[in-house]
């Protein structure tokens, strides 16, 4: 199976496209809106705090979808996909919390956690990344789904996400995230212990001796077991010397003989006549990792990994999870894949992967991230589903009534036509009429804007004139007018009258207002200009290769 990338609602994708017991490891980092106070969430949202909590309201509200999800769970009565513990939990939370934003969030997560449990192999593991905002509720859901069906809670992992920064006078600063770790079947899940490497200073302290024959650093260790472990008295002969101990031995005779044969310097004797062995620094795995992950640094503002995605997690965090709970060739699922850190790490560690996200910005960012890391050929090895392939599917995307997806048609059109190099405009008000912006570089090293306007309904010449005014107002060099409907002759003529833009750097030219139809985009027409994002990437790579500093 090729790795797969799905554009769409993860609940629908899980139900229709992911078979039972097909996934080795699932990690999700769903929305959990840390910006809201705990009390606001618990008490749901009143009119007095809607403005403060608007980001959360936009995502979670007790609407018809939340009501339908709730009814689906409680009407199951413990039959089939939903066990009675999950049904009773959601019913009880409805009585405690009421029908509001928090319960809408819990219902949404429960629907998806149940599906994730279904698709996990018996040896599979699940990691859910959240913060203290609703972690206590999510753990109840996880317990109700996994534990009654033979699964097991493994860990509550704490990751230090931030340094102290807000200096609140009323409470301790919240600087950690929580990652819940569950296995589908008790005692059968894949787990490869992870180790924390020592710093050079700590390594020298822990391994203070250097073996003259090999120049290898080592520490002393006793061959005898700790005195609190019972063992009958045994006799061993080492280098012709008979040794008796009432404490037993760390190694079996076979292991001892094998180690001694491969390294005659491994065993030596203390002045008291007790055998000791050497632990070499270059053979030591390191300190076993516990559940407090303070050693994984958060991404700072200037970190080279940063992609401009607000909830991006460091690759090291996902590397630890993927290496611990999967092996090469296994299938890793991320149902909220965002900017694609899980996908990128799984690809690097030679796992197959499935990524799902509901926003095309995320899909385009993942494709660009993979292309920049592995070249364009990597995209031929990925199965991509949910992206419009014909006019019918493009029209279906344009006509979606859901507020969460109403702008997805615009994003898909802009990012596809720009080869994922444009930026979606999220601003409102005075920037009305601009749906996206591409930055291009001129011969004088200036960055200039090309504006995008996307229309899915009826279009006419008046919209071309309005767009011309926006281009002039913003001092942009050109504009791309993308339309689902075919343009009229008057529209084409009006656009042509505006003239052409010639790029000083490459001498390429485009119409100052270029009309592009969705049909042309589906037929692989793309913006062919030197966009700044590509040039900057090339310059960064050259800097790394030459180990020199460049002014960009």
3-state secondary structure 276-334: EEEEEHHHCCCEECCCEECCCCCCCCCCCCCCCCCCCCCHHHHHHHHHHHCCCCCEEEE
Phi first, then psi, for residue 323 (nearest 5°) are -70, -35
DSSP state of 493: H
DSSP state of 474: T
Assigned token pair, 470: 């926006």
Residue 123: CB atoms within 10 Å: 18
Model pLDDT, residue 209: 86
Assigned token pair, 286: 């390191």
CA distance 146 to 89: 13
Model pLDDT, residue 537: 45
pLDDT of 432 over the 50 cut: yes
pLDDT of 120 over the 80 cut: yes
Over residues 270-289, the mean pLDDT reads 76
Model pLDDT, residue 66: 93
Model pLDDT, residue 264: 62
Over residues 51-68, the mean pLDDT reads 63
Between residues 376 and 85, the one the model is more confident about: 85
pLDDT of 155 over the 80 cut: yes
- For residue range 240-254, what is the model confidence (pLDDT) as tens digits? 444 544 434 455 566
Instruction: Name residue 353's beta-bridge partners.
Output: 332
CA distance 287 to 293: 12
Model pLDDT, residue 370: 94
Structural domains of the chain, with CATH: 3-194+290-385 (3.40.50.150), 198-283 (no CATH), 391-537 (3.40.1350.10)
Contact 122, 63 (CB under 8 A): no
Between residues 101 and 486, the one the model is more confident about: 486
Model pLDDT, residue 248: 44
Classify residue 266 by burial, with Cβ atoms within 10 Å: 0-12, 13-18, 19+: middle
Q: What is the pTM of this model?
A: 0.80
DSSP state of 494: H
Residue with the two structure tokens 């391994």: 207
Contact 26, 335 (CB under 8 A): yes
pLDDT of 205 over the 60 cut: yes
pLDDT of 42 over the 90 cut: no
What is the chain's mean pLDDT, rounded?
83
pLDDT of 221 over the 90 cut: no
pLDDT of 99 over the 80 cut: yes
pLDDT of 277 over the 70 cut: yes
CA distance 322 to 356: 17
Query: How do beta strands 120-130 and 176-183 pair?
Result: antiparallel
- For residue range 292-330, what is the model confidence (pLDDT) as tens digits? 999 999 888 788 898 878 789 999 999 999 999 999 999
Residue with the two structure tokens 């965090």: 317
Assigned token pair, 283: 């053979």
Question: Which residues, at least 6 apart from 415, have a Cβ–Cβ distance to it below 8 Å?
Answer: 360, 361, 364, 422, 424, 436
């Amino acid at each position: 199976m090729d790795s797969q990338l799905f554009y769409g609602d993860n609940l629908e994708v899980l139900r229709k496209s992911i078979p039972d017991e097909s996934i080795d490891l699932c990690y999700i980092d769903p929305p959990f809106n840390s910006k809201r106070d705990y009390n606001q969430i618990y008490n749901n949202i009143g009119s007095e705090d809607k403005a403060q909590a608007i980001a959360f309201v936009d995502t979670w509200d007790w609407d018809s979808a939340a009501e339908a999800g709730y009814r689906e769970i409680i009407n199951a009565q413990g039959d089939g996909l939903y066990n009675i513990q999950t049904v009773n939990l959601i019913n009880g939370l409805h009585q405690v919390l009421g029908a509001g934003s928090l319960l809408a969030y819990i219902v949404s997560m429960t629907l998806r956690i149940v599906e994730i449990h279904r698709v996990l192999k018996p040896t599979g593991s699940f990691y859910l990344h959240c913060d203290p905002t609703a972690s206590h509720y999510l753990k109840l859901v996880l317990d109700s789904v996994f534990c009654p069906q033979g699964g097991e809670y493994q860990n509550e992992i704490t990751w230090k996400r931030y340094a102290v920064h807000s200096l609140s006078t009323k409470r301790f600063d919240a600087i950690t995230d929580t990652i819940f770790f569950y296995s589908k079947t008790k005692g059968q899940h894949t787990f490869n212990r992870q180790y924390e490497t020592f710093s050079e200073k700590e390594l020298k302290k822990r391994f203070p001796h250097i073996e003259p024959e090999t120049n290898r650093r080592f520490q002393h260790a006793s061959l005898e077991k700790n005195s609190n472990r019972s063992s009958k008295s045994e006799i061993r002969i080492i280098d012709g010397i008979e040794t008796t101990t009432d404490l037993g031995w760390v190694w079996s005779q076979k292991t001892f003989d094998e180690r001694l044969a491969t390294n005659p310097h491994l065993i030596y004797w203390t002045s008291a006549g007790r055998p000791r062995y050497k632990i070499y620094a270059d053979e030591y795995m390191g300190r076993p990792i516990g559940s407090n992950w303070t050693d994984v640094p958060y991404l700072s503002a200037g970190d080279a990994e940063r992609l401009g995605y607000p909830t991006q997690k460091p690759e090291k965090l996902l590397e630890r999870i993927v290496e611990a709970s999967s092996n090469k060739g296994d299938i890793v699922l991320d149902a909220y894949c965002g900017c694609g850190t899980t996908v990128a790490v799984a690809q690097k560690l030679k796992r197959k992967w499935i990524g799902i996200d509901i926003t095309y910005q995320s899909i385009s960012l993942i494709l660009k991230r993979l292309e920049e890391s592995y070249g364009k050929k990597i995209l031929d090895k990925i199965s991509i589903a949910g992206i419009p392939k014909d006019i019918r599917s493009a029209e279906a995307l344009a006509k979606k009534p859901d507020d969460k997806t109403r702008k997805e048609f615009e994003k898909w059109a802009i990012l596809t036509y720009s080869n994922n190099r444009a930026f979606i405009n999220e601003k409102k008000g005075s920037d009305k009429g601009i749906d996206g912006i591409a930055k291009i570089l001129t011969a004088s090293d200036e960055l200039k804007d090309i504006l995008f306007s996307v229309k899915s309904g009826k279009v006419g010449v008046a919209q071309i004139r309005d767009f011309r005014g926006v281009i002039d107002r913003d001092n942009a060099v050109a504009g791309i007018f993308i339309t689902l409907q075919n343009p009229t002759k008057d529209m084409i003529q009006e656009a042509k009258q505006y003239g052409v833009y010639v790029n000083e750097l490459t001498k390429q030219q485009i119409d100052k207002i270029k009309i592009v139809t969705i049909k042309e985009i589906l037929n692989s027409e793309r913006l062919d200009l030197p966009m700044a994002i590509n040039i900057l990437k090339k310059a960064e790579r050259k800097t790394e290769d030459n180990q020199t500093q460049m002014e960009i």
